[in-house]
Amino acid sequence: MTATDDFRAIPAFEVRSPAEQRVPFVFNSPHSGRVYPPRFLAMSKLDASAIRRSEDCFVDDLFGGAVPLGAPMLAANFPRAYLDANREPWELDPRMFSDPLPPHANARSARVAGGLGTVPRLVGEGQEIYKAKLKLAEAVMRVETVYKPYHEQLKRLLTRTHSRFGFAVLVDCHSMPASIRLGDNGMRPDFIVGDRFGVACAPALTEAAIGILSGMGYTVAHNKPYAGGFITEHYGRPARGLHAIQIEVNRGLYLNERTFERTSGFAALASDLTRFAADIMAIPEHYLHGLPLAAE
């Protein structure tokens, strides 16, 4: 069995396409995959519940209302514990493997040190995933047969969007634990908007995202502690008309984190996020070319 065999019955990822793409936006949900291949589970020391602790549960469904509005969505079916597409392709932890890493591997990143590389070592609050060390070939198979095709598909969506509309906006969708707290007063944010400290998108896009969510009554933080990962950093090139922004949703708004079941708040939050998508996709194009939102 190989990494390719893990996703024969269900594809590793899918594009949810509108009947017609009417807006220069692409939504992406790289961490909401919930298909756990039996071969992978057999390698793990964790039970079926514990291994889901890093999953962005149902985030693809929360933001799914963007698709009927005219924006495609790329959604992972592979779980984050299996492979993290929001990393460089070769952020690998040498402690995980029985053979040496290749020279091109990045074994020194902060994410690798935290056990959260491309092939993660840990889930949740520091729980080890694997029973034993992996062969390096396992990581290579996952990167070559899942990670690279995923990013090739995301690049195609953005390239096609940019070609059609003259610019493209990537909205990278994530969730965060309900336990997250910020600052001395322990404020719990409902959302965190990340733009890699201003370099991944036009400031007007960040201002709009924060303003829309705040206007709905949500508590919104900016860049702390989540400024955006590899996807936001890699694809965000505003000088080239490619904007990327990360949206983190507090799971406490919609999920029972113990049972992984949707709470009564799910439907209202999904409705609000559909409205958020509609509002942010209605930003006038010239705002994304350097003019502030208050310019008129």
Q: At what angle do helices 266-281 and 203-215 cross, to 10 degrees?
A: 140
At residue 272, the 3 state secondary structure works out as: helix
pLDDT value at 143 more than 60: yes
pLDDT tens digits, 10-28: 999 999 999 999 999 999 9
What is the overall mean pLDDT for the chain?
94
Q: Which of 27, 85, 87, 37 is nearest to 61 (CA)?
A: 27
Q: What residues does each domain of the chain span? A: 5-35+55-80+142-289
pLDDT tens digits, 42-51: 999 999 999 9
Cβ pair 287, 204 in contact under 8 A: yes
pLDDT value at 286 more than 60: yes
CB atoms within 10 A of CB 35: 17
pLDDT tens digits, 80-126: 999 999 999 999 999 999 999 999 999 999 999 999 999 999 998 88
At residue 161, the 3 state secondary structure works out as: helix
pLDDT value at 296 more than 60: no
pLDDT tens digits, 260-272: 999 999 999 999 9
Spell out the residues 6+ positions from residue 292 whose beta carbon is closer than 8 angstroms to its own. Answer: 203, 204, 207
pLDDT value at 70 more than 70: yes
pLDDT tens digits, 148-195: 999 999 999 999 999 999 999 999 999 999 998 887 788 899 999 999
- CA of residue 290 relative to chain centroid, distance: 26
pTM of the entire structure? 0.95
Model confidence band, residue 1 (pLDDT cutoffs 50, 70, 90): low
Can you read off the two tokens belonging to residue 29? Answer: 């949900």
> Tell me, what's the pLDDT at 154?
98
Cβ pair 213, 205 in contact under 8 A: no
Selecting from 3.30.70.100, 3.40.630.40, 3.40.50.10860, 3.40.50.620, what CATH number does the domain 5-35+55-80+142-289 have? 3.40.630.40
